């Protein structure tokens, strides 16, 4: 989750400016970049508990330790809550999950090098503090009430609001981790096509990356419990956005959707003003009792765009949000999957051909079924009945060809297809990361979920 936006506080005079804000994300193909974000759970090596912000072994101390690598401090009320270095940042999720928001980079080789450098820096500091970090989609051991809360104003507002609109929102905040990739578009038509392909295939990514089978030390009946949690978080700001597939969809329609998403806050004079549940439309009219006569700025709008949580999100770029967190190899595999599909016109056309005749009912059946069944969920490819594994296999073939045509190579000649190997192995085995962990849990681990912290930590 983001902090307050760095967008200038330019007053908004009308809806057209909001549309222009989204449209301003258009870039020529030569300027397209890849932004990868990932979150991970911290834990104390001695008792596996998540570290609080406070204390000599806390997350605050970890952030302070990372400043030795050139990261600049970002504070809120004199508490260190984030770091910035050039175009990248390190931020805290509500329970201290550590997030790297990577710089916009030209190739997946660069993205993977960035991830490797980050994990190396984190490990150097974490080892001194006797901390470890784990990449999974859901906290496998600790209860919600055992999770700490970070000292960020927006999280206090969300913490109070979430139980009013869903039963799992606090779990989303405190016990989930994801990896996502942010990609560019060249025009409104390009954005629309990419948005539709990304939404329709998001369940395939969820299935491939499914890695959250445990809750409080026991199997929870899901392979991606993180994905299931979004179905009961807040219906006003989550979901598959059926309107994206309707004729006439574009920037204006997405702005209208965002205008109807209830607000969380406005950041004014260094403070978060609680506006949870209030209307941005009324804010634009100066009709909010909490800020009488005040109207929003573009920074308010930029902040508001971060408070909608659909499976794919549009800001000034498209965010693919459907994957569980995981180990180093899968953090590189997600951008490879989506770049291969969306950054090559031939691949994009082939991917659209795969999904263009899906009905809303089929798209929802995929989205609702993969958290539990993942690759084994029944699915249709053209006129052939198969499973999500078959969809994944075809999508990976298309992505691989897209990456081959991109031909972004290392000095040794390897192109970006090497980063798909982790996903190809999952499809070949027909076994998700979650199923592998369940196999271990019921076998070699003898029902001891603590083993996941030792065997799968970074």
Please spell the DSSP secondary structure of 191-227, one letter per residue.
HHHHHHHHHHHHHHHHHHT--B-EETTEE-S-SBHHH
Is position 7 within any domain? no
Looking at residue 9, what is its pLDDT? 73
Domain residues for the domain of 343 are 15-455
Which phi and psi angles does 449 have, rounded to 5°? -70, -15
| Whether residue 5 has pLDDT greater than 90 | no
CB neighbourhood size of 27 (10 A): 17
Is position 430 within any domain? yes
| Whether residue 4 has pLDDT greater than 70 | no
- The predicted-structure confidence for 111-140, as pLDDT tens digits, reads as follows 999 999 999 999 999 999 999 999 999 999
**Residue 19 belongs to a domain with what CATH number?**
3.30.590.20
Which phi and psi angles does 407 have, rounded to 5°? 55, 45
Looking at residue 382, what is its pLDDT? 86
Looking at the chain, the whole-number percentage of residues with pLDDT higher than 70 is 98
Is position 345 within any domain? yes
Is position 10 within any domain? no
Backbone torsion region of residue 193, taken as left when φ is above 0, otherwise alpha when ψ lies between -120 and 50, otherwise beta: alpha
Is position 4 within any domain? no
- The predicted-structure confidence for 348-386, as pLDDT tens digits, reads as follows 999 999 999 999 999 999 999 999 999 999 999 888 899
Mean pLDDT for the chain?
96
Lowest mean pLDDT among 140-144, 217-221, 267-271, 394-398: 267-271
Q: Are 448 and 227 in contact (CB under 8 A)?
A: no
| Whether residue 252 has pLDDT greater than 90 | yes
Looking at residue 125, what is its pLDDT? 98
Comparing CA positions, the residue from 42, 69, 37, 39 lying closest to residue 53 is: 42
Taking CA atoms, 214 is separated from 95, 113, 221, 452, in Å, by: 18, 30, 8, 10
Q: Are 415 and 405 in contact (CB under 8 A)?
A: no
Is position 8 within any domain? no
> What is the distance of C-alpha 69 from the center of its chain?
25
* CA dihedral of residues 191, 197, 202, 205 (deg, nearest 10): -110
- The predicted-structure confidence for 305-353, as pLDDT tens digits, reads as follows 999 999 999 999 999 999 999 999 999 999 999 999 999 999 999 999 9
Which pLDDT band holds residue 50 (cuts at 50, 70, 90)?
very high
Tokens 């209307």 -> residue: 279
DSSP-derived secondary structure for 61-105: HHHHHHGGGTPEEEEETTEEEEEEETTEEEEE-TT--EEEEPPPB
Q: Are 227 and 369 in contact (CB under 8 A)?
A: no
Is position 202 within any domain? yes
Which pLDDT band holds residue 10 (cuts at 50, 70, 90)?
confident
Looking at the chain, the whole-number percentage of residues with pLDDT higher than 90 is 96
| Whether residue 7 has pLDDT greater than 90 | no
pTM of the shown model: 0.96
Which pLDDT band holds residue 289 (cuts at 50, 70, 90)?
very high
| Whether residue 2 has pLDDT greater than 60 | no
> How many domains, in total, are found in the chain?
1
Is position 1 within any domain? no
| Whether residue 394 has pLDDT greater than 70 | yes
């Amino acid at each position: 989750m983001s902090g307050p936006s760095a967008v200038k506080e330019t007053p908004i005079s009308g809806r057209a400016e909001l549309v222009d804000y989204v449209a301003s994300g258009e870039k020529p193909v030569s300027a397209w970049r890849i932004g990868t974000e990932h979150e991970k759970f911290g834990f104390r090596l001695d008792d596996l508990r998540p570290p609080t912000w406070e204390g000599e072994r806390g997350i605050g101390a970890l952030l302070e330790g990372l400043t030795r690598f050139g990261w600049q401090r970002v504070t809120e009320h004199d508490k260190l809550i984030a770091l910035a270095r050039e175009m990248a940042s390190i931020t805290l999720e509500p329970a201290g999950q550590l997030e790297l928001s990577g710089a916009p980079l030209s190739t997946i080789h660069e993205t993977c090098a960035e991830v490797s450098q980050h994990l190396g820096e984190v490990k150097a500091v974490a080892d001194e503090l006797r901390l470890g970090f784990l990449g999974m989609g859901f906290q496998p051991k600790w209860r919600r009430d055992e999770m700490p809360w970070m000292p960020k104003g927006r999280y206090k507002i969300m913490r109070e609001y979430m139980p009013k609109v869903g039963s799992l929102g606090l779990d989303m905040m405190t016990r989930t981790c994801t990896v996502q990739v942010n990609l560019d578009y060249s025009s409104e038509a390009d954005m629309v096509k990419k948005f539709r392909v990304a939404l329709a295939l998001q369940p395939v990514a969820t299935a491939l990356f499914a890695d959250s089978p445990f809750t409080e030390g026991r199997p929870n009946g899901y392979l991606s419990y993180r994905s299931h949690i979004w179905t009961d978080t807040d219906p006003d700001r989550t979901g598959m956005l059926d309107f994206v597939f309707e004729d006439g969809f574009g920037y204006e329609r997405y702005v209208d959707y965002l205008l109807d998403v209830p607000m969380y806050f406005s950041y004014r004079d260094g403070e978060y003003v609680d506006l949870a549940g209030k209307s941005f439309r009324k804010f634009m009219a100066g009709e909010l009792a909490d800020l009488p006569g005040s109207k929003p700025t573009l920074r308010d709008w930029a902040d508001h765009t971060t408070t909608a949580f659909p499976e794919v999100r549009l800001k000034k770029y498209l965010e693919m949000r459907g994957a569980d967190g995981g180990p180093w190899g899968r953090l590189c595999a997600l951008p490879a999957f989506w770049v291969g599909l969306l950054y090559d016109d031939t691949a994009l056309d082939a991917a659209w051909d795969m999904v263009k005749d899906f009905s809303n009912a089929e798209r929802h059946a995929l989205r609702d079924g993969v958290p539990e069944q993942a690759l084994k969920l029944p699915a249709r490819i053209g006129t052939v009945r198969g499973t999500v594994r078959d969809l994944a296999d075809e999508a990976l073939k298309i992505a691989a060809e897209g990456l081959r045509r991109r031909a972004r190579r290392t000095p040794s000649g390897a192109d970006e297809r090497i980063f798909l190997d982790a996903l190809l192995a999952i499809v070949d085995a027909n076994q998700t990361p979650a199923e592998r962990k369940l196999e271990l849990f019921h076998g070699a681990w003898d029902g001891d979920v603590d083993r996941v912290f030792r065997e799968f930590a970074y």
